Amino acid sequence: MITPLRVSLFAAFAFTLPLTLQAAPLAWSPCTDGVLPGSLCATSMVPASYEQNAGSDTLALFVRKIAADVPAGSAPKGTLWLVAGGPGESGASFYALMPTLRRSFPGFQFLLPDHRGTGNSARVCPAEEAADSPGGRALAGAEWASCFASLNKHPQLASQFSITNAARDLRTLVKGEAGVSAQPVYLYGVSYGTQLVLRSLQLGPLAVKGVLLDSLVPPQTDPRWDLSQRSQVVNQVGLQVLADCDADAACQAVAGEPAQALLRRVLAKVQADPALLAKIPGKNLKNFLGSMLDVPSARARLIALLRDLEHGGDTELAAVRASLVAAAASLGSSAQSPLSIPLVSMISNSENNLQPTLRPAWTTAELDQEESALLFTSPLPRMLAGGGLPTYPRDAYFGQLPANVPPMLVLQGTHDPKTPHAGALAQVQSLQATSSNRPALVSVQQAPHFILWTAPACFEQASLRFIAGQPAQDCVL
């Protein structure tokens, strides 16, 4: 049953507290959810909106602390804040990656916030995304319709979940904990999390010793890397993978011909064979091939898959699907994990989709025409074209960068189909032009998105050098 809407959709989290809440240390207590035994949990109340005269409503932010692996009675060597991506992902994204993080930041404690709208923090649709709702933290069944209807009835609430409000949350949390320990503090953000960290630094300096950005978002105002162009980005990476095969004797032994020629022939065959097409997830081979680019183990089977499909087989298809499932499972799962789809839609369309401005009359027929020339595609442009949820106005921070940044290291895969290497390079060059601390870029050859996950050895090497004050070095997946 939907909670009646009165002042806001956040009745489950709202309290009458002063808007100008002061940054204060979190009140930690043992977590009771059984996730990561020994971890501590805390909830911080922050303004629903930080705008002047925005009202007194507040919402809850959930943070988990994972203690440093140091001898009993010893202080941690440092603190690392882990800022998840998405938008829509929670701190649970990092739970299964703690072994790599401990090796990369030995002796550090880790703080994992769920930014507003995600995980155990205040949700966009509190009734439908409640832990005890039919779908748990995910939307299920009739919850989709009721959540979307509520948001469209109150479109002004979208602005409460803006990147800038989330950035102010992060600043409040970091400042509140800053005085607790004299040890160095670092920030790590991945994908959308890099955008959130940069927005936080736009708002003013933070007392952190360094920042690591994994899979850096491209400049917001460059139409080449706008989210409506995601299929173009995915296709470019796919063509890189095919070119790698052409240059590799072992891969060519399987392909037997230029990889692009093989792919074009298989695409035509699958499209003309309804029975074969029905075996492909989503009945869209281009989208499926695009999804394989995110996972190195699946990507490595690309040519073998094409050869098998050419002969009508499905053995390799089953193997690839199993590889993708295993990759997803390796990130773990908890009640806190489900992605917030409403938050994804509102932030993506408000901040990172230029299509309504650049091509206001853009149609799905035009998208079909554009994608007909591509070999690899993404479902994202079509999803964005559908809209369905309110957006919020872009503020003065849109498209801008911090005037200065702390020491910063960017980790970027050369085969990243989500945040392309060229876009990250452009962003780094802009930061280098304005900041006295010139960000360093580590290019991880042939790596896809999310270096912490897909190239852990490279992540560990780069992180250890960074916290030791040593120069960055490129790496190979």
- Looking up tokens 């105002």 gives 221
Query: For the chain, what's the residue count?
Result: 477
Instruction: Return the pLDDT at 300.
Output: 97
Residues 100, 82: Cα–Cα separation, whole Å: 13
Write out pLDDT tens, residues 223-271.
999 999 999 999 999 999 999 999 999 999 999 999 999 999 999 999 9
Helix (H, G, I), strand (E, B) or coil at 61: strand
Mean predicted confidence (pLDDT) in 94-104: 97
Average pLDDT, the chain: 91
User: In the predicted model, is pLDDT for residue 283 greater than 70?
Assistant: yes
Nearby residues of 253 by Cβ (< 8 Å), 6 or more positions away: none
Residue with tokens 């460059």: 222
Taking only the tens place, the pLDDT of each residue in 417-428 is 999 999 999 999
Residue 1: predicted pLDDT: 27
Q: How many CB atoms lie within 10 A of CB 221?
A: 11
pLDDT, tens digit, for every residue of 112-168? 999 999 999 999 999 999 999 999 999 999 999 999 999 999 999 999 999 999 999
Q: Show the tokens assigned to 123.
A: 């949700």
pLDDT band at 355 (very low <50, low <70, confident <90, very high): confident
Average of per-residue pLDDT across 167-171 = 97
Alpha helices in 249-363 (DSSP H): 249-255, 259-272, 274-278, 285-292, 296-299, 302-310, 315-330, 341-351, 355-358
Q: Which fold has domain 29-223+397-476?
A: Rossmann fold (3.40.50)
286: pLDDT confidence band, cut at 50, 70 and 90? very high
Question: 9 or 111, which is more confident?
Answer: 111
Whether the per-residue pLDDT at 344 is higher than 80: the answer is yes
Calculate the alpha carbon distances from 159 to 49, 110, 127, 163, 168 in Å. 8, 29, 19, 9, 13
- CA dist 140 and 338 (Å) reads 11
Residue 456, sorted as left (phi over 0), alpha (psi -120 to 50) or beta, turns out to be alpha
pLDDT at residue 387 above 80? no
State the span(s) of the chain assigned CATH 3.40.50.1820.
Answer: 29-223+397-476
